[in-house]
A and B are shown apart, each in its own frame.
Chain A
Amino acid sequence: MTKPCFLGVDIGSLTVKAVLLDAGQRLLTRGVVPAGYGGQEAAEALVARLLRECGLTPDEIAYTVVTGYGRVRFATADEEVSEISCHARGAFHLCPAVRTVIDIGGQDSKAMRLDAQGRVVDFAMNDKCAAGTGRFLEVMAAALDVPIEQFGALALQSEHPVAISSTCTVFAESEAISHIARGVAKQDVAAGLHQAIASRVLGLAARVGLEAEVMLTGGVALNVGVVAALSRQSNQRITVPADPQTVGALGAALYAWHKGRR
């Protein structure tokens, strides 16, 4: 084994993420692909592609840690670690000043409070409801006929956001549609929806205590409207890392590095 590397894989409900680190914890490469059915095949294909890009073979992976909802289905993993631990680890590695991590993924949102050593002191996750998640935004963007990538920017254009009172994804959709039918501007409905998701997520974060510095991870961190709404409603600066979707996979790779170093 000439140059061992360390693999972290995060199999989520909507996307699969992978991060490869070298022996010095330096990033070799990372990638994000849609999960497809079950996520396992997508994960295997992604890992194969990343290895190829780096000129590595599977034998050179010294240790693999898998996380995310599909974690039990990834056969070649040495270990599985929860998303909570992985996101915390990844976020703390990127920014040791972080004390609160909010992760908003496709199907769940979670908040973690870290201590000065980066250990998870407390965490909370959404339960049995997709209202504070990426899926909520996807459904709403589709209802408003806006590409998901532009949804956040559209919300930022609003000057008179409407109030969306329903916290249920399905009912909020009908509420949004009825606003549109009454002639409310699209950006005002979009802004209302972004405020709704922010208030939902902050309610979750309040359970663990929103201590500065706050980092937002997960695919929804790419949405500027959500970041702005979270920041405004919480009166906190929200840090978004360069590639927020891969923070969990990075944490998994760091666990792999820790375990497989020798």
Chain B
Amino acid sequence: MAEKRYKKLKTAAELQRLMQWHYTRIRLPRLGRPLAWVTSGAPVEILRAMGVIAVYPENYGALCGARREAVSLCEAAEAQGYSPDLCSYARTSLGSVFQSERAPMGGLPQPDLLIACNNICGTVIKWYEAVAAHYEVPLFILDTPFIHGAFEPHALAYVVAQLEAMIRFVERTTGRRLSMKRLERTVRLANETVQLWSEIRALCKARPSPLNAPDLFVNMAPIVVLRGTEGAVRFYRHLKAEVEMRVKNGIGAIPKEKYRLLWDNIAIWHHLYRFYNYFVDYDACFVVDTYTGGWSQEIPEGQSELMEGIATAYATVFLNQSLEYRSHLMERLIREYDVDGFVMHCNRSCKPYSLGQYAIRRRITEGTGVPGLIIESDMCDARAFAAEAVKTRIQAFMETLAERK
């Protein structure tokens, strides 16, 4: 029944092959190439240009969540004394480190070095410190100051200096040198990936929308994990072609689109299709979200210093910016995608993303007249998901939207 409400993309098999290849490749003999665990907001272009293989514990966490194997790993971390209030990506990752026999694919391959960038949250610092202590490998923390208003020149200079320190750190720990030529090529590839992803998201302005939130969430994996690779570019070209065909032929992601919604925060991985299908039952499609737009920053090329471009792109991700910035962003998306209502996932795991949602919600409704619903859950920890309570809220919200139509 759930499958019927979900229109599978033809590129789904290609996506699966691509991600499977990634998770296989990182386990193959690497011929001396070092392997780094990196946060989702780390400047991976630099690592790729230096021949460092990057793996993403956050993506691995999402994968465990979607396979409903995250809770047992969270429990393994909790048994070591980590609080259940800690981010479930961190707990899933630490659990897979402590008890790899419980972990899907036996966990991630052991890292040679760690790169954590705090542009997404402060949890990554302590999480990566714990991983560094466990494996006894070096850790670099790339510090991007929080942007309250504008991204000031002194902040830019600071982040550039951080990037230079990171390059020195990688050179020192791996013995590899950064070639600017290779970096330029990687940045070009990354920008191409980002551009394609932005274009795919923009295609959802069509009525009916060719994609629903679960499509965006499933298809975001390469933009995070394989950004700056040929494989990702190829995949997104194919995905874009398919989505364009859907738009051209008036094919929507759901059987009947009556309501257009915006999603805020990370997906509820353990109930991905089931959860969004509650909305499909009311003919509601999530045509846009804030999360998968987090990887749509191109690195300015050509005119300015490349390092300044990288610093700007990574320091200005929306999670590193003020509530004001975030509410403006959402208001803009509501107008551009012609949205009837928005749903905010108050994600127990993700404090920086979830704090302030009540203020943002009030502000958006005042500014646009569009109502919003807040759902409490967690991205990976299914124990924080109360199906009946969630359904009741969705029903009440959809009834209020119906009264407005």
Contacts and interface: CB of A to CB of B under 8 A. Distances in A.
A49 to B, nearest CB: 28
A82 B376 contact: no
Given A69-B388, A207-B358, A125 B400 contact: no
13 contacts: A69-B392, A81-B395, A81-B399, A82-B396, A82-B399, A84-B399, A84-B400, A85-B396, A120-B399, A125-B393, A127-B376, A128-B384, A207-B358
Interface string A80-113: 0111110000000000000000000000100000
* Residue among B386, B389, B400, B403 facing the most chain A CB atoms (10 A cut-off): B400
Interface string A197-235: 000000000010000000000000000000000000000
* Residue among A81, A83, A122, A127 facing the most chain B CB atoms (10 A cut-off): A127
Contacts of B404: 119
Contacts of B376: 127-128
Interface string A120-132: 1111110110000
A187 to B, nearest CB: 34
A82 B358 CA distance: 22
Nearest to B372: A122
A127 B389 contact: yes
B371 interface: yes
B371 A82 contact: no
A85 B395 CA distance: 9
A120 B389 contact: no
Contacts of A81: 395, 399
Contacts of B358: 207
A82 B389 contact: no
Nearest to A117: B403
Interface string B349-383: 00000000010000001000001001010000000
A83 B371 contact: no
* A-B pairs, 3 with minimum CB distance: A84-B396, A82-B396, A82-B395
Given A121-B371, A127-B386, 8 more contacts: A82-B392, A83-B396, A119-B403, A120-B403, A123-B397, A125-B389, A128-B376, A128-B386
Contacts of A125: 389, 392-393
A108 B371 CA distance: 22
Contact of A120 (B384, B388, B393, B396): B396
Contacts of A207: 358
Interface of B: 358, 365, 371, 374, 376, 384, 386, 388-389, 392-393, 395-397, 399-400, 403-404
Contacts of B365: 122
Contacts, number: 44
A85 B393 CA distance: 11
Interface in A58-87: 69, 81-85
B389 A122 contact: no
Contacts of A122: 365, 371
A205 to B, nearest CB: 13
A127 B365 CA distance: 22
Contacts of B374: 124
A219 B28 CA distance: 64
A207 B374 CA distance: 11
Contacts of B388: 69
A120 B400 contact: yes
A207 B359 CA distance: 9
* Residue among B384, B389, B392 facing the most chain A CB atoms (10 A cut-off): B392
A121 B371 CA distance: 8
Nearest to B373: A123
A69 B395 CA distance: 12
B400 A123 contact: yes
A146 to B, nearest CB: 30
Nearest to A208: B362
A211 to B, nearest CB: 14
A85 B396 CA distance: 6
Contacts of B403: 119-120
Contacts of A119: 400, 403-404
A83 B392 contact: yes
Nearest to A108: B389
Contacts of A82: 392, 395-396, 399
Contact of A123 (B384, B386, B396): B396
Nearest to A127: B376
A123 B365 CA distance: 13
Contacts of A127: 376, 386, 389
A128 B377 CA distance: 10
A121 B404 CA distance: 10
B396 to A, nearest CB: 4
Nearest to A118: B403
Nearest to B376: A127
Nearest to B388: A69
A258 to B, nearest CB: 12
A223 B389 CA distance: 25
B401 to A, nearest CB: 10
A124 B373 CA distance: 9
Nearest to A123: B396
Nearest to B346: A127
Interface string A168-210: 0000000000000000000000000000000000000001000
A86 to B, nearest CB: 10
Contacts of B400: 84-85, 119-121, 123
* Residue among B386, B388, B395 facing the most chain A CB atoms (10 A cut-off): B395
